[in-house]
Amino acid sequence: MSSRLQWIHGRGQRIIVERDRTPEILVKFIVLVGLLYLATRILYWGEWVAFAGASVYLLWELGRINSTLAARADIRAGSGNEQEEPCST
């Protein structure tokens, strides 16, 4: 399973970044199952652990978006120094 992030610069330059999402999805699933198991079997804190798990997930997604935007900024900074060529598809 892979995802593709694609955007087009204002000057018509198209950039595509592909990555494999299988390990990321597997880790998210394991973390979610672990948090739910912890809440229901060990600590009996089912009321607040679900919210803690949701906040960890949101922080995870924020970090992923941050790294994607950093990669985009690096690509944009690198493409500004070179001669731009139109993208043919």
pLDDT at 81 over 60: no
Residue found under tokens 């009321």: 47
Q: In the structure encoding, which two tokens stand for residue 29, read together? A: 């699933």
What integer pLDDT is reported at residue 33 of this predicted model? 79
Q: How would DSSP label each residue in 34-88?
A: HHHHIIIIIS--HHHHHHHHHHHHHHHHHHHHHHHHHHHHHHHHHHTSSPP----
**Could you read off the pLDDT of 22-78 as tens digits, one per residue?**
787 788 888 887 877 776 777 666 667 677 778 888 888 888 888 888 888 888 877
What integer pLDDT is reported at residue 76 of this predicted model? 80
